[in-house]
Chains A and B, each alone.
Chain A
Amino acid sequence: MLLELRRIEVNFGKVAALRGVSMAVSASSIVTIIGANGAGKSTTLRAISGLAPLNGGEILFRGERIDGLFPNKVASKGIAHVPEGRRVFPEMSVEENLRTGAFLRQGSRDIEKDLRSVFEMFPRLEERRNRNAKTLSGGEQQMLAIGRARMSKPALLLMDEPSMGLAPVVVDEIALTIKRIASGGVPVVLVEQNAELALNLADYAYVLENGTVSLEGEAGRLHDDDHVKAAYLGV
């Protein structure tokens, strides 16, 4: 297993956001976490990145404990996180945002090559490379956040609701990108409220309810599950 969560718990004061969540992500796959508002999806990703400290359980990446590490140390292990709400650096240019994604890397030739490949993936970013990120549209900001994560050459990519607030055409483009990233050998943990999209993209899925995993399985099988259909697919 590339990534393993073992009964992790996260509390915010008296509120228990995660109560013993276990998950596993293997190399070369898309794993999705779906669930309602406040189920604990973002908290799960934030726990992996070190942004939300654990109150119990452990997190292993390539067999090594990473819980308790500062977020920048987790990043240096090869985990990139595209956070909820994109969180691009608003007063920095598109290019500066991307180069900041490569902060931990040395060797300028490789970085230039990856910059070019991000621009090939998202030509619109290249057209706007000298503009401040805050001037971009929501879809472009999402592309920038994904591009920035790619610039770190991650071994695992965490994505928190990349489709949020985007027009359907843009959602399709982002979905295609996620597929391309995964087939390029970078496993993705995808958090989504758009369960239809997520279950179509993913190989394996977890359903979070009130901070616990209520259901898990092959994404295709969950897509046909009656409870999932009623609660998340609106059919």
Chain B
Amino acid sequence: MIELLAQTGLNSLYAAAYLSLVAVGLVLIFGVMGVINFAHGELFMLGAYVVVALYSGFGVPYILVAAIGLIFVGCIGILMEFTIFRPLRDSPLGGLVASIGFLLIAQALVSMGFGVRMEHVPPVTQEVIVFSEKVRLPLQRLFVILAAVMFLSLLWIFLRRTRFGWALRASAQDAEAAALQGISIRQTSLIAMFVGAGLAGIAGVLTAPLISVGPHMGHAVIVAAFIVIIVGGIGSLEGAIVASVAYAFIHTIVTTFWDGVIADITGLSLMLLVLIVRPTGLFGTTDRA
């Protein structure tokens, strides 16, 4: 029993790692731009397909693929800002609807390019850390956990310690007041889109060797990410991380002991419960970010 719990804990940690990367990017974009990016799951998917194309396809070293994936998907974020969010700046609903359009286009393009079948990425490493007979951690999963901790720490340092990090938080908290300090909202929007999309992309890159990659894989992730940012309190990065960990643990435990559908239902029910008890979410205030 203890061993089963320990194994479940390790599995949860892995799920929390990539989920929090996705959710934090979503929160960052919402904070600065004021739009819910429905295509965020597709950014995760595009990250995974960078691995399919370059690593499975051409045998480019994985670490290089990770860097390319981060930058490529980050640039897709910048493209989204220029083509949909900036022209629709004063219409949050417009941005949301356009991002759904972007989601469909991304899925269609990937289906045309790669086909709709599930891709299996060859493992980067087969090594497994064996704690005991029943408690094992594949090195690739450890890699995901460590990378998530690293990227989230870098993000924290960027937001708390640098001039542009302050600018990003300032424009999330009060865009007009930020502009009065000389901060260009166009510039902070571009940074938020690059960073937010890049984090989703790197999450896709990291998990691609561990899951089946397909054009619709973004769906499950975005649903979980939405639950997590609502529970965490929309606009709160800390809330998103804490809620990711909590969600991953609960979801993994329920999946292990019952099944995945019940786990999904449990997740949604807990979200409703939190909303009833605390409508602003766990870490939410009435203000954003």
Contacts and interface: CB of A to CB of B under 8 A. Distances in A.
Interface in A56-85: 70-72, 75-76, 80-81, 83
A101 B179 CA distance: 10
A231 B184 CA distance: 41
Contacts of A80: 180
Contact of A72 (B166, B184, B285): B184
Interface residues of A, number: 26
B32 interface: no
A15 to B, nearest CB: 18
Interface string B170-211: 100110111111111100000000000000000000000000
A103 B262 CA distance: 50
Contacts of B180: 49, 51, 71, 75, 80-81, 83, 87
B259 interface: no
A103 B166 contact: yes
Interface string B11-31: 000000000000000000000
A100 B181 contact: yes
A51 B166 CA distance: 21
B177 A89 contact: yes
Q: Looking at chain B's contact residues, is the secondary structure mostly helix, strand, loop, or mixed?
A: helix
Nearest to B235: A91
Interface in A95-152: 96, 99-101, 103-104, 134, 148, 152
Contacts of B185: 72
Given A83-B177, A87-B176, A103-B163, A92 B170 contact: yes
Nearest to B185: A72
A91 B185 CA distance: 18
Contacts of B167: 100, 103
A49 B177 CA distance: 11
A138 to B, nearest CB: 16
Contact of A76 (B170, B177, B182, B289): B182
Given A70-B184, A103-B163, A89 B174 contact: yes
Contacts of A152: 181-182
Contacts, number: 74
B170 A71 contact: no
A96 B166 contact: yes
Given A71-B180, A72-B179, A80-B180, A91 B173 contact: yes
Interface string B261-289: 00000000000000000000000010101
A75 B182 contact: yes
B141 interface: no
A83 B184 contact: no
A90 interface: yes
B236 to A, nearest CB: 9
Contacts of A51: 176, 179-180
Contacts of A71: 176, 179-180
Interface-centre pick from A50, A51, A103 (highest chain B CB count, 10 A): A103
Contacts of B181: 72, 75, 100-101, 103-104, 148, 152
Contacts of A91: 169, 173, 285, 287, 289
Interface in B152-178: 163, 166-167, 169-170, 173-174, 176-178
Interface string B31-64: 0000000000000000000000000000000000
8 contacts: A49-B180, A71-B176, A76-B182, A89-B174, A90-B285, A90-B287, A103-B167, A152-B181
Given A87-B180, A91-B285, A152-B181, 14 more contacts: A51-B176, A51-B179, A70-B184, A72-B185, A75-B179, A75-B180, A83-B177, A88-B177, A92-B173, A99-B163, A100-B166, A100-B183, A104-B182, A134-B287
Interface of B: 163, 166-167, 169-170, 173-174, 176-185, 285, 287, 289
* 10 shortest interchain CB distances as A-B pairs: A75-B182, A71-B179, A104-B182, A87-B177, A89-B173, A72-B184, A81-B180, A100-B166, A72-B182, A103-B181
